Amino acid sequence: MEVRVLGMHGGEVQESRSSCYLLDGHVLLDAGGGQALLSEGEADGIDGCIVTHAHLDHVYGLPLLLDRRYGCPTLEVRSIAPVIRTLTTHLFNDALWPDLTRIPDRASPFVRFVEVTPEVPVRVAGLEATPVEVSHSVPAVGWLVSLPGERPVVFSGDTGPTTRLWEMATARAARAAFVEVSYPDRLARIAALSGHLTPATLADAIGRLPPGIPIRLIHLKPELAAEIESELAPLLAAHGNIGIARAGATYRV
């Protein structure tokens, strides 16, 4: 599977873009600010979207993406029920943004939201995707994504210390993982309150993943990135399979 990192940061400062990953060229995982980097043809070619949770740095690009897709087939956006509820109640509510589930008409709207059940796989435009609940400050899931029959790639989304996602990743022999680390250890209290990892709590998460698989670290708060990276240096030196994801990179996993 091919993973193109359109946005990987937990915020936006200058060039950094918030969470958005293009899978195999046509499925979007989260729709933060990174969606702006899609070309016109690429935006039109998106034929599925899965969402980890409803925080703005993961969804604010969705209204803007849909607004680029005139004449395209309805985009199906999948996530767990509380996330769909937040998006329809607070974002596509005809106040903050038009209700694009009714425009131009209910038969063929810009977007259709589809609820998924934790740990039940769904087919998304040729990929198999399984949501697994994680420990964030709002309802949130990580996703295991694969080509049918292959070992999955894990996307943590935003999470603090959690167990089930790593259990599922191990049970299904994940082939690679994109794992968040948002704050330096100095801000461990804020990380705990907001449901994020620091280098110290990340080390525990990595110990629960299949050993030796490629792990790319994501969601660093951009203004804290240098501090996080220096704290990560010993971990990265000890594990050649772990590295910080590069914005704009395409990974074959």
Which residues does 86 contact at the CB level (< 8 Å), separation at least 6? Answer: 54, 138
Residues forming beta bridges with residue 141, ordered by sequence position: 133
Which part of the chain contacts Zn ion (CB under 5 A), choosing from 4-12, 23-31, 91-99, 238-246? 4-12
Question: In 74-165, where do the E strands start and end?
Answer: 75-80, 111-116, 122-124, 127-133, 141-146, 153-155
Encode burial over 154-186: b for 16+ CB neighbours within 10 A, e otherwise. bbbbbbbbbeebbebbeeeebbbbbbbbbbbee
Which parts of 170-209 interact with Zn ion (CB under 5 A)?
none
For Zn ion, the closer CB: 158 or 231: 158
For Zn ion, the closer CB: 10 or 34: 10
CA angle 195–142–2, rounded 5-degree value = 130
Provide, rounded to whole angstroms, the least separation between the CB of residue 105 and Zn ion. Answer: 33
User: Distance (Å, rounded) from C-alpha 3 to C-alpha 24?
Assistant: 6
**Is the Cα dihedral 227, 230, 231, 235 positive or negative?**
positive
For Zn ion, the closer CB: 63 or 222: 222
Contact call for residue 158 and Zn ion (CB under 5 A): yes
The answer to whether residues 83 and 158 touch, using CB atoms and an 8 Å cutoff, is no
Provide, rounded to whole angstroms, the least separation between the CB of residue 18 and Zn ion. Answer: 7
Contact call for residue 231 and Zn ion (CB under 5 A): no
Provide, rounded to whole angstroms, the least separation between the CB of residue 55 and Zn ion. Answer: 3
Which part of the chain contacts Zn ion (CB under 5 A), choosing from 83-91, 118-126, 151-159, 220-228? 151-159
User: Distance (Å, rounded) from C-alpha 80 to C-alpha 193?
Assistant: 22
Provide, rounded to whole angstroms, the least separation between the CB of residue 52 and Zn ion. Answer: 8
User: Distance (Å, rounded) from C-alpha 136 to C-alpha 133?
Assistant: 9
Count of residues binding Zn ion (CB under 5 A)? 4
Provide, rounded to whole angstroms, the least separation between the CB of residue 184 and Zn ion. Answer: 16
Provide, rounded to whole angstroms, the least separation between the CB of residue 174 and Zn ion. Answer: 21
Would you give the binding string for Zn ion spanning residues 108-147, x where CB under 5 A is met? ----------------------------------------
Would you give the binding string for Zn ion spanning residues 48-77, x where CB under 5 A is met? -------x-x--------------------
Q: In the complex, which residues of this chain contact Zn ion (CB under 5 A)?
A: 10, 55, 57, 158
